[in-house]
Structure 1
Amino acid sequence: MSTSPASETVTQHYQQGDLRRRIDEALDRLYPGGHPLTTDHLRAVDEFHVGGHTVTRLLAEHLELRPGMRVLDAGSGLGARPAIWLSARIPMSLAWI
């Protein structure tokens, strides 16, 4: 069974070695002196799905999330940015993996 070119590209992306170190180095270049980071700074690397943050917002609207709900973000990514973005807007019990 062969894999698709897209699957191979994703595999190569995540097998490049110490991803955390490379992200830290890039952030140090962008924000020398320890500029305080927010989840918005990580949007490009943490919402690594088709549609990015736009789809995160649309999905949140579609789900009609309300305060007090329990939410699980499965496959949340490097820093769980979508989950953190949601919880900053709607008080909820949130878990991510």
Structure 2
Amino acid sequence: MNLSPKEALILQQLFEAAGAELYGLQMVKNSDGALKMGTIYVTLGRLEQKGFVESRREQDPTQAIPRRLYKITSAGSLTFNAWRAGMAAFHASLAGEAA
């Protein structure tokens, strides 16, 4: 499964959140600079179009501007697991070639 590095990082964060919802700025902060505000929402939109994440507007009356919350879908979890397995196999094959 082909995922861009940003897509993989977002799916990883949402996968590790174990069903909890995260918002974009939270993912940017958790990424140690790998994700930027200028690209996070474009990438999240692309992942949502692919059916890998779903979103909803936060229903919090104390927030002046409601945040959009994201969580991984079952298709997103399957895709991330397949990507992770593919990357592990790739790295293992590189380690085998180096031996």
| TM-score (norm: length of structure 1) | 0.29
More helix by share: 2
Of the two structures, which has the highest relative contact order with CA contacts closer than 8 Å and spacing of 6 or more?
A: 2
| TM-score (norm: length of structure 2) | 0.28
